[in-house]
Amino acid sequence: MKNLFQSMTTRVFLMLFVGVLLSAAVSFGLALGERQRLIGQFRDFHAVERVAQFVLSLETVPAHLREPFFSAAAGIGMRAQFASPSEPVTEPLSPLASLLDQRLPDSYRIASTSAKPTDCAPAPQAPRRGGPEGRGRCEALLVTLNDGTRLHLSVLPPRPPPFFPRFDVPTYGSLFILGVGLVAAFVARMTMRPLKQLAQAATDLGNNIEREPLPVRGARELRQAAAAFNLMQSRIRSHIRQRAHILAAITHDLQTPLTRLRLRLEKVDDTELHDKLVNDLSAMQAMVREGLDLARSMDSAEGMQRMDLDSLVDSVCSDAVDAGQAVSFSGATHTSLMARPIALRRCLTNLIDNAVKYGYEANVHVAYDNGFALIRIRDKGPGIPETEKEKVFEPFYRLEDSRSRETGGTGIGLTIAKNIAEQHGGTLTLENLRAGGLEVVLRLPAQRPQRAAVKTV
């Protein structure tokens, strides 16, 4: 779950999803509040209109028939009766009294008064649509007619509408949340896809500097990022080629004077001096050759092709045995991988030569582990100090114990092997064995055929 929330796609999805839901909830609440306000205004207008029509109609009724006419007010949510001259008024006017005062002609006088306990009780003949307790408080008004008659009107507000509209809230709410989730997922995936492509391109660039450039398409910012990445790749490729060409040119040009020196050494009469000079010259020529190999390992111009890893390792081990080296081979991966055959063969040859040269023998074992082929090369040598494990991969770096004429070496073999391993998307590590000796582990991404993957033992 923690790794899920570390994904940028998940974070963008959650921000969009939660943000849209919160915005929708706020908008829905504001819309409902505005709906209730408009309904309240309509209810007040309706109540004022009812009272005004009743008062105006009462003007046409003779004085002796007005009291029986009051019973008709119960059918429209009002109670009417004559007011006593001493009934007090309250100040200021209530909102309903103000609206009624604006609605009726100026000859009518409107005032607010306190409602009596009996004012809010519905008349016996009035239809019962629910108790008044759920319909709000009634409001008492004092209305003075044109002839001076004073009326006490108690107005019961109509029943308020439901707060929520009448529709299937769970169904429509679920559909809305589902729609928001789908849109958020689509937008998050569409937004993060270019970043994933850029990250994958950066990873592939470390394995293959000659990879195809990114397509420059999409939004302006994406096109700028793709163009900048392609320019960076081109510059890195140019710098690597220049460095490799410079190293190759220097080492190649050194071969000519070294050859002339070897020819001139034949004229040295002192045998002991002659042998020392020849040995030093041979060491210099070996360094030149390995310098050329290092330059070639940095130049990944060789094409990639699919090959069987087990056959390649077996072939390299067989060549070493034919050359008289103590090399054994065991295990199988049943995998294939995209590789540069010549470069990968040079990598394996360097590792086996180092094991034989400094560890007296090389035991090569291959295995498959979760999408990777593991090539383990063990020797019987003294191993490498922990503080030197990373330094031995540096060019021309040698351990003090290896600087002898018996073992030779220039300190480039492991550098070349690591360069080639990284160009294939792999890693190269060193581990000292408890029983003595050194284990070199070459880890390469590989694929197993379907038939081999389902094979049972």
203: nearest Cα among 373, 445, 429, 425: 425
Share of the chain above pLDDT 90, in %: 11
DSSP class of 154: E
- Element (DSSP H or E) covering residue 441: strand 438-445
Read off the pLDDT of residues 34-86 as tens digits, 9 standing for 90 and up.
888 888 788 788 888 888 888 888 888 887 788 788 877 777 777 888 888 77
- Element (DSSP H or E) covering residue 243: helix 220-265
Measured between alpha carbons, how far is 315 from 71 in angstroms, rounded to an integer? 115
Domain spans, the chain: 27-120+134-155, 208-301, 303-453
| Residue 451: half-sphere exposure toward Cβ, Cα within 13 Å | 1
CB 315 within 8 A of CB 366: no
Measured between alpha carbons, how far is 107 from 55 in angstroms, rounded to an integer? 12
Measured between alpha carbons, how far is 152 from 140 in angstroms, rounded to an integer? 7
Read off the pLDDT of residues 356-367 as tens digits, 9 standing for 90 and up.
988 889 999 999
pLDDT computed for residue 186 by the predictor: 85
pLDDT computed for residue 160 by the predictor: 59
Pick the CATH number of 208-301 from 1.10.357, 1.20.120, 1.10.287, 3.30.160: 1.10.287
pLDDT tier for residue 452 given thresholds of 50, 70 and 90: very low
Residue 217: CB atoms within 10 A of its CB come to: 9
pLDDT computed for residue 408 by the predictor: 52
Is pLDDT above 50 for 350?
yes
CB 366 within 8 A of CB 402: no
**Separation of first and last alpha carbons in the chain:** 35
Determine the average pLDDT of the residues in 341-362.
Answer: 90
pLDDT computed for residue 399 by the predictor: 67
310: nearest Cα among 289, 286, 336: 336
pLDDT tier for residue 134 given thresholds of 50, 70 and 90: very low
Task: Please give the single-letter amino acid code of residue 416.
Answer: I
What is the CATH code for 303-453? Answer: 3.30.565.10
Residue 355 to residues 155, 324, 336, 362, 371: CA-CA distances in angstroms? 105, 14, 25, 5, 26
Sheet containing 372-378: order of strands? 327-331, 362-369, 372-378, 438-445, 427-432
Pick the CATH number of 27-120+134-155 from 3.30.1490.20, 3.30.450.300, 3.40.30.10, 3.20.20.70: 3.30.450.300
Read off the pLDDT of residues 282-291 as tens digits, 9 standing for 90 and up.
777 777 777 6
Read off the pLDDT of residues 383-405 as tens digits, 9 standing for 90 and up.
888 888 888 888 777 665 544 44
CB 373 within 8 A of CB 317: no
Task: Please give the single-letter amino acid code of residue 54.
Answer: F
